[in-house]
């Protein structure tokens, strides 16, 4: 082989190597992983039973494939420690790293994977019903850490789950933003609002109006930028919630590995192929539960109208709505459901002077 041929051959090998290494990391094929052992990151408490086995649910675009999934977790009854901090693990969720002035109070925290996210005894509401215009992932050369949902400025934006407002003010490119911390330690973020209707340390319930949609901050048109973070680590919202069909949690217990907490592994312009790691969740404590860090007002009532106190066992709380009929007033509705007019207005983002429209729904519980 002469010198010219040698140079051409070496160049061909170098080019082949470069193309192989530059293969698009986002287009890797979806693989079904067999059951495998994991390291349980939950604290070692006598009241918890642990498991090292998990199962997979594969969500491929609009196709839902389930494998070896049972309804066991959905049918169990669990005991609440109190109406907000429902588990022993979450007893200090509203005190540790709590700041109403810092957007990120977790600067010194180290995240270990997998992250366990427990949605048992929780309820979910879509922050707003609208078209998703951008997903979690890489976008225009930078990380997009949430999803964008189209809206009209002034539309009601609702709390996704029960929780406590940690941060609520104007913050840089996010504009007017609300951060809510939930019972399981997860935080949800609602950005680009035109108006904020809650304040730090307010307790809110799933479905409560917390602000009005807008276009504040670094925004290219009115929309809601919605994120889910754990200790400031942004998790792929589509991994946690089904925004397209169920409009609910993807599963009541999820294990999050770093693939679902790294925007560089996804593209914002398309829906990722989601592989859920699920497992047998540790039992919620029922014997001698530790006291919670905070005691918020009760958020549930029994059939007789009596407040449910800490430690009582009750099923998953369902949201309750009232359909406005002819002759209804805020006073009549508040008396019917034993709720104050102030709370009724707060839950629904309305004023006392708002004209009630027949057929519209009001959140009452």
| Three-state DSSP state, 29 | coil
CA–CA gap between residue 336 and residue 338 (Å, rounded): 6
59: left (phi over 0), alpha (psi -120 to 50) or beta: beta
Bigger pLDDT: 281 vs 104: 104
pLDDT for residue 14: 52
Nearest in space to 73 (alpha carbons), one of 86, 90, 54, 88: 54
Whether the per-residue pLDDT at 50 is higher than 50: the answer is no
Q: Which tens digits make up the pLDDT trace of 145-178? A: 999 999 999 999 999 999 999 999 999 999 999 9
Question: Is the pTM above the cut of 0.85?
Answer: no
Nearest in space to 172 (alpha carbons), one of 92, 102, 87: 102
Nearest in space to 37 (alpha carbons), one of 55, 50, 53, 51: 53
What value does the mean pLDDT take over residues 319-337? 86
Q: Are 217 and 184 in contact (CB under 8 A)?
A: no
Burial class, 127, CB count within 10 angstroms (exposed 0-12 / middle 13-18 / buried 19+): buried
Q: Are 84 and 292 in contact (CB under 8 A)?
A: yes
Bigger pLDDT: 246 vs 9: 246
Q: Which tens digits make up the pLDDT trace of 2-43? A: 555 555 555 555 544 444 433 333 333 333 333 333 333 333
Mean pLDDT of the chain: 73
User: Helices in the chain by DSSP H: which ranges?
Assistant: 3-21, 72-75, 237-240, 330-336, 341-348
What value does the mean pLDDT take over residues 232-255? 95
Superfamily of domain 25-297, CATH level 4: Glucose Permease (Domain IIA) (2.70.70.10)
pLDDT for residue 11: 53
Question: What would you report as the CA-atom Rg of the chain, rounded to the nearest whole angstrom?
Answer: 23
Nearest in space to 332 (alpha carbons), one of 344, 318, 346: 344
Burial class, 87, CB count within 10 angstroms (exposed 0-12 / middle 13-18 / buried 19+): buried
Q: H-helix or E-strand containing 277?
A: strand 274-279
Q: Which tens digits make up the pLDDT trace of 180-195? A: 999 999 999 999 999 9
pLDDT for residue 233: 95
Pairing of the two strands 186-193 and 176-182: antiparallel
Q: Are 214 and 175 in contact (CB under 8 A)?
A: yes
Q: Which tens digits make up the pLDDT trace of 59-78? A: 433 333 333 323 222 222 32
């Amino acid at each position: 082989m002469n010198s010219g041929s040698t140079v051409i051959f070496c160049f061909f090998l170098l080019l082949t190597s470069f193309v192989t290494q530059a293969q698009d990391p986002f287009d890797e094929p979806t693989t079904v992983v067999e059951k495998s052992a994991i390291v349980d990151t939950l604290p070692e408490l006598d009241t918890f039973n642990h498991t090292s086995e998990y199962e997979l649910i594969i969500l491929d675009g609009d196709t839902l494939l389930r494998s070896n999934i049972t309804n066991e977790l959905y049918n169990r009854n669990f005991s609440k420690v109190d109406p907000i901090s429902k588990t022993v693990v979450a007893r200090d969720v509203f005190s540790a790293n709590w700041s109403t002035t810092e957007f990120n109070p977790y600067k010194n925290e180290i995240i270990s994977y997998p992250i366990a996210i427990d949605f048992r005894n929780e309820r979910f509401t879509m922050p707003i019903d609208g078209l998703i215009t951008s997903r979690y992932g890489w976008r225009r050369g930078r990380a997009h850490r949430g999803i964008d949902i189209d809206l009209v400025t002034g539309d009601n934006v609702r709390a996704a789950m029960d929780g406590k407002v940690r941060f609520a003010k104007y913050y840089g490119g996010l504009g007017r933003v609300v951060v809510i911390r939930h019972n399981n330690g997860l935080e949800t973020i609602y950005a680009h609002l035109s108006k904020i209707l809650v304040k730090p340390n307010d307790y809110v319930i799933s479905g409560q109006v917390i602000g009005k949609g807008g276009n504040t901050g670094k925004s290219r048109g009115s929309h809601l930028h919605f994120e889910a973070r754990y200790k400031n680590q942004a998790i792929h919202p589509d991994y946690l919630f089904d925004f397209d069909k169920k409009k609910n949690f993807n599963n009541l217990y999820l294990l999050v590995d770093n693939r679902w907490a790294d925007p560089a592994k996804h593209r914002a312009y398309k829906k990722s192929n989601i592989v859920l790691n699920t497992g047998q969740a540790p039992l919620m404590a029922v014997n001698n539960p530790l006291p919670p860090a905070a005691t918020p007002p009760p958020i549930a009532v029994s059939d007789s109208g009596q407040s449910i106190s800490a430690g009582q066992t009750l099923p998953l709380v369902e949201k309750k709505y009232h359909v406005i009929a002819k002759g209804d007033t805020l006073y009549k509705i508040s008396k019917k459901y034993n709720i104050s007019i102030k709370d009724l207005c707060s839950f629904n983002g309305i004023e006392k002077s708002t004209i009630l429209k027949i057929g519209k729904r009001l959140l009452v519980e």
